[in-house]
Amino acid sequence: MTDDELTDKGKAVQLLFTQLDASIASFQKNTTLHCQLGCGKCCFKPDIEATVLEFLPWALYLYRQHQAEEWLEKLNQSDSSVCLILNPTQEGAGLCSQYSYRGLICRLFGYAARTNKYGKKELVTCTIIKDEQKNAFKNAHEQIALGLPVPVMHEYYLQLASIDFDLAREFFPINIALRKAIEKVLSYYAYR
Ligand code: SF4
């Protein structure tokens, strides 16, 4: 037990992310599916939905870096529906400016499955991967049907909710989820 409950929850979320990242890396290795270098197209989608809890580790990190108020100001002044963490001019593998603190939805999208009404797992991925990696995508589907392990979206959201049900039960447009995560951290330490 650390000295505060919120930090413990943040660490539990990060542990869940570490486990998920390992499952995704194994799935990518088995299927060869991969993001285009420098892409970030999925991040431009307006109003990506996210929970407050999945951005708690990020908000705690900002607090420790004395950047929480600055980001809260940015979020409060912005009316953009596109994620404010996205940096369209960023060089390198992707456009996320806080990649190690990206949310659960950011990690799942592209390399996780949802379960359809027949109980079958369906890979949820982007059109670029579907179009440019046609064979690998088709093979991945076949391998999943034959039992290849693939992260299942709702199972990860259930695990997230088991860390803190109240902070994980509601989905918000991503910039609102980011703002609420920072507000949660600032108010927690304001009253401590
Ligand atoms: S947090 Fe990062 S990965 Fe997630 S939507 Fe925003 S820019 Fe994209």
pLDDT tens, position by position, 141-165: 999 999 999 999 999 999 999 999 9
Residue 94: how many CB atoms within 10 A of its CB? Answer: 20
Can you count the helices (H) and strands (E) in the chain?
9, 4
pLDDT of 67 over the 60 cut: yes
**Separation of CA 26 and ligand 1 centre (Å):** 22
**Separation of CA 89 and ligand 1 centre (Å):** 14
How confident is the model at residue 100, as a pLDDT?
A: 96
pLDDT of 2 over the 60 cut: no
Ligand 1 close to Cβ of residue 106 (< 6 A):
yes
Strand partners for 121: 115
pLDDT of 38 over the 90 cut: no
What is the pLDDT of the chain when averaged over all its residues?
Answer: 95
Ligand 1 close to Cβ of residue 182 (< 6 A):
no
Contact 6, 185 (CB under 8 A): yes
Q: How confident is the model at residue 6 (pLDDT cuts 50, 70, 90)?
A: very high
Can you tell me the mean pLDDT for 52-58?
A: 98
Ligand 1 close to Cβ of residue 85 (< 6 A):
yes
Can you tell me the mean pLDDT for 65-86?
A: 97
**Separation of CA 101 and ligand 1 centre (Å):** 9
Can you tell me the mean pLDDT for 165-184?
A: 98
pLDDT of 1 over the 50 cut: no
CA-CA distances (angstroms) from residue 132 to 40, 45, 88, 122, 152? 15, 20, 22, 19, 23
Task: Give pLDDT tens digits for 113-131.
Answer: 999 998 999 999 999 999 9
